[in-house]
Structure 1
Amino acid sequence: MDLRFTVFFLIVYCWMAFALVPHETGALPPPSQLSLSYINNFCVNLSWSPPENLSSSICEVEYLMVVTVDQENETHRIRKDTHFESCLDIDRGVNYILRAQPQNCTHRTLSQDVVWSIPPSEEKLVKDFECIYYSSGSMNCTWSPADQTTDLQLYYWYKNMAQPLKPCGLYLYTGGLKTGCHLHGDFLNVTNLTTEVFFLINRTHGPSTLQNKFKRTTRDNMKPWPPKLTIKRADDMLELHCDPPSGFDPRLNYWDYTYRYRTSKDSNWKEIPNKSRALSISYNHHFQYRVQVKAICKSICGTGASDWSLEESYGQDKTSERSFPLALITVPVVVTICAILLLFFLKRLQVLILPQIPDPLKSLKDLTYSKNDPTLPGSSTTKSLVNQRVYVPENPELCLDVKLVETEPILEPRPFSTSAVGTHRPL
């Protein structure tokens, strides 16, 4: 009887204890006292305190950290820690969003966001900063100076590096200005393509120093040397084969390949993606084939591709050889036909093109031995000339405008008669 009473008492006690525990519902309170501190030039540490007025024995929580850079989000789940380290391209601006999420209390929901932002850098020392990973252990980083300054200095750093910053050992120049840096070292080994390299570019501006910061990953822009291509013929097929890009371990299967070819009759390339380094294509011996290949980094390994390889050719274009004998026969026949037609039409048009010219000697004989005056109209010579259509000049006609003018008569003195003088008698 005592045992039954004891069990009953324990059941009632547990039920009452559970009933007296407050069951809160709704959103969790947000994390408190969020702060940010710099670990070095590229990394920051965010720390916070658990949500206030929340007992971990009643409701356990975890934290979600959403990191936003250029509208690209990365979500990190943090279970027990209350801090978060981040090494990013800070100059582009970073936005951190922290939330509390319930684990074992399904009656609670996510807390409100707690935000911390790092604004982007306003002063741009360089533009178009880009790094190309072209060989195991080697990488070239290039940029365009924002102005004509010559005192730019580049430093780089990667995680687990012994020293805080290492200066660029080999600059690349364009027109006397620093436009790039060549990096080489074991930290760029091809077996670890996830290596993150951080860059600091600074310049002295009066009493202050201006800085730009960048982060690049080796796998983000891989550009190996173009593969070497060989072509062999097997019956009616061409066997294409290429070597893996130099500078990388051939045992590492990092690459896919794309072949392209065209014949002497084609104007456009035909591209064929291929997973392996060997490919076979059909062959027509009447045409010449030109082939190129390039290596493309597999998506699981990174991004990037090589340039097209040097163009390799195989075979000869025999279409021109077949047309040469035909041209030897066709061209003379066409020329002969054209010459015959030309002579025929010239004969038909000879009267118009080359009219018959009268014999001038015959006309001179008629003029010389004529018995009649050729100048007289109606003479036999004139008639013969007219009949022969020899040009005979006409007698010119002179047109005069004649006007009659009336004048007074002039009285002339009458002549003296001798007879009158002799008969004169005095009165």
Structure 2
Amino acid sequence: MELPARLCGLWVLLLCFADGGDAAPTETQPPVTNLSVSVENLCTVIWTWNPPEGASPNCSLWYFSHFGNKQDKKIAPETHRSKEVPLNERVCLQVGSQCSTNESDNPSTLVEKCISPPEGDPESAVTELQCIWHNLSYMNCTWLPGRNTRPDTNYTLYYWHSSLGKILQCEDIYTAGQHIGCSFALNKLKDSSFDQHSVQVMVKDNAGKIRPSFNIVPLTSHVQPDPPHIKNLFFQHGDLYILGKNPQNFYSRCLSYEVEFNNSQTETHYILSVSFFDFISHIFLFAFHFLGKKANPTFYITMLLIIPVIVAGAIIVLLLYLKRLKIIIFPPIPDPGKIFKEMFGDQNDDTLHWKKYDIYEKQTKEETDSIVLIENLKRASQ
């Protein structure tokens, strides 16, 4: 049976659409090439790589990367990634490529590149390295010597932040007890949004015999303002008023105040509530209302010792009182059998006992009188 030419053409067209309806599977992209790692400044680690070889020309390449612990995942078209890392431990980055932003869409195999910690005995590195930004004017860093370190070790501290053109060395090394420290000037950074910045710090010795120790100091989490200057202190209507001046480089809206009031005569500590009234430039005025007081800790200790004794005494008195009350309310009922036994049985026994005693006493008396009589007769005959 021959089909009309027009119908045959329509049939061929439908077959063409059917063949092209299924999308071709997405090809798995090859891995990235020439992945390398380097360190800038003190703790800025930079990874760079090249696009994969033999990638599909119709593919818009994206790169996904994360660190060895599978944290800080990132998908971006750039062929580099950087991170501030304290280089005290091994740090690895894994990078892969794909044709979309969906990580599960046939990604390439991962390529890894690591940076090792500095050489040297880990027990020789300094410990408890921490820094505080004092009043937005200078930073003070302190640390403890490592376990395997000579007492005469000379330490050097290096620091860097985004406003510096190069790494600087801290010159003001000092010793305070077991701690060693160094202070360096650090004013507000050029960028007003300094909350996004940090300071990179490294401590090592001059001779290069100890393992370097690194620290990343976020500026916003390690700031300590100077105490305010109190200009006047007075009472009015039962309230305590404090007039003072804010520390430099800070405004009142950036600070929270803590006030402690101790009475040396009564040895009490008062908890005060703060009320902000007004400020002009760096001048502030606060009023504190007494909400309550906290007794001397000795009072609580004494009460803890006395209360158990009082409770124990009360329990003993209560038990004695209940026993006596029971006797009064429920007196013991006498036993009739015992009464009759005492009247007859016990009494006969006592009577017989006394009779035996009288006979024995009588015989003894008669014998004694006879002996006395014989003795008297003998004396008379002589």
- TM-score, length-normalised on structure 1? 0.50
Alpha-carbon displacement from aligned partner over 1:204-233 (angstroms, at most 9, x marks no partner): 558x67433332232221111123455444
2:128 aligned partner, one-letter code: D
CA contact (8 A) 2:157 2:170 kept: yes
Find 1:161's aligned residue among 150, 160, 164: 164
2:56 aligned partner, one-letter code: S
SS at match of 2:25: coil
Aligned to 1:44: 45
Pair 55,130 (structure 1): closer, same or farther in 2 beyond 3 Å = same
Aligned to 1:172: 174
Aligned to 2:199: 197
Find 2:85's aligned residue among 58, 63, 88: 88
User: Percent identity at matched positions?
Assistant: 18
1:155 aligned partner, one-letter code: Y
Alpha-carbon displacement from aligned partner over 1:407-427 (angstroms, at most 9, x marks no partner): xxxxxxxxxxxxxxxxxxxxx
SS at match of 1:161: coil
Pair 106,87 (structure 1): closer, same or farther in 2 beyond 3 Å = closer
Pair 54,105 (structure 1): closer, same or farther in 2 beyond 3 Å = farther
What pairs up with 1:328-407 in 2 under 5 angstroms?
none
Tell me how large the CA RMSD over aligned residues is: 4.5
Q: Offset at 1:98?
A: 2.9
- Cα distance in 1, alignment partners of residues 210 and 248 from structure 2: 38
- Cα distance in 2, alignment partners of residues 130 and 171 from structure 1: 15
- 1:108 counterpart = 2:105: yes
- Cα distance in 1, alignment partners of residues 157 and 199 from structure 2: 12
1:98 aligned partner, one-letter code: V
Pair 13,235 (structure 1): closer, same or farther in 2 beyond 3 Å = farther
Alpha-carbon displacement from aligned partner over 1:277-300 (angstroms, at most 9, x marks no partner): 66544459xx9x99xxxxxxxxxx
CA contact (8 A) 1:45 1:83 kept: yes
- Cα distance in 2, alignment partners of residues 86 and 77 from structure 1: 15
- Cα distance in 2, alignment partners of residues 64 and 273 from structure 1: 51
Find 2:155's aligned residue among 152, 172, 181: 152
Alpha-carbon displacement from aligned partner over 1:352-387 (angstroms, at most 9, x marks no partner): xxxxxxxxxxxxxxxxxxxxxxxxxxxxxxxxxxxx
Q: Offset at 1:243?
A: 3.7
CA contact (8 A) 1:232 1:239 kept: yes
CA contact (8 A) 1:98 1:113 kept: yes
- Cα distance in 2, alignment partners of residues 166 and 257 from structure 1: 35
CA contact (8 A) 2:134 2:226 kept: yes
CA contact (8 A) 2:29 2:56 kept: no
Pair 19,39 (structure 1): closer, same or farther in 2 beyond 3 Å = farther
- Cα distance in 2, alignment partners of residues 107 and 234 from structure 1: 70
SS at match of 1:74: coil
Aligned to 1:424: none
SS at match of 1:23: coil
What pairs up with 1:242-391 in 2 under 5 angstroms?
243-244=245-246, 246-250=247-251, 253-261=253-261, 267=268, 269-270=270-271, 272=273, 280-282=287-289
2:185 aligned partner, one-letter code: H
Pair 209,104 (structure 1): closer, same or farther in 2 beyond 3 Å = closer
Aligned to 1:215: 216
Q: Offset at 1:149?
A: 3.1
Unaligned runs of 5+ in 1: 1-7, 291-427
Aligned to 1:128: 128
Q: Offset at 1:161?
A: 2.8
Aligned to 1:64: 64
- Cα distance in 1, alignment partners of residues 289 and 24 from structure 2: 80
- Cα distance in 2, alignment partners of residues 143 and 106 from structure 1: 43
Pair 13,224 (structure 1): closer, same or farther in 2 beyond 3 Å = farther
SS at match of 2:220: helix
Alpha-carbon displacement from aligned partner over 1:119-176 (angstroms, at most 9, x marks no partner): 445534311111111122311111112231332222222235333x32212222246x
CA contact (8 A) 1:190 1:248 kept: no
2:152 aligned partner, one-letter code: T
Bigger relative contact order, structure 1 or 2, given CA contacts below 8 A and separation 6+?
Answer: 2
CA contact (8 A) 1:60 1:105 kept: no
What pairs up with 1:23-34 in 2 under 5 angstroms?
23-24=25-26, 30-34=31-35
Pair 240,129 (structure 1): closer, same or farther in 2 beyond 3 Å = same
Pair 272,29 (structure 1): closer, same or farther in 2 beyond 3 Å = farther
Pair 173,72 (structure 1): closer, same or farther in 2 beyond 3 Å = farther
- Cα distance in 2, alignment partners of residues 63 and 213 from structure 1: 30
Aligned to 2:24: 22
Pair 67,222 (structure 1): closer, same or farther in 2 beyond 3 Å = farther
Find 2:114's aligned residue among 109, 112, 117: 117
SS at match of 1:108: coil
- Cα distance in 2, alignment partners of residues 273 and 110 from structure 1: 58
Q: Which of the two has greater helix per residue?
A: 2
SS at match of 2:224: coil
SS at match of 2:256: strand
Matched pairs, number: 270
Aligned to 2:5: none
SS at match of 1:219: helix
- TM-score, length-normalised on structure 2? 0.54
Q: Offset at 1:178?
A: 8.1
Q: Offset at 1:41?
A: 4.4
- Cα distance in 2, alignment partners of residues 106 and 143 from structure 1: 43
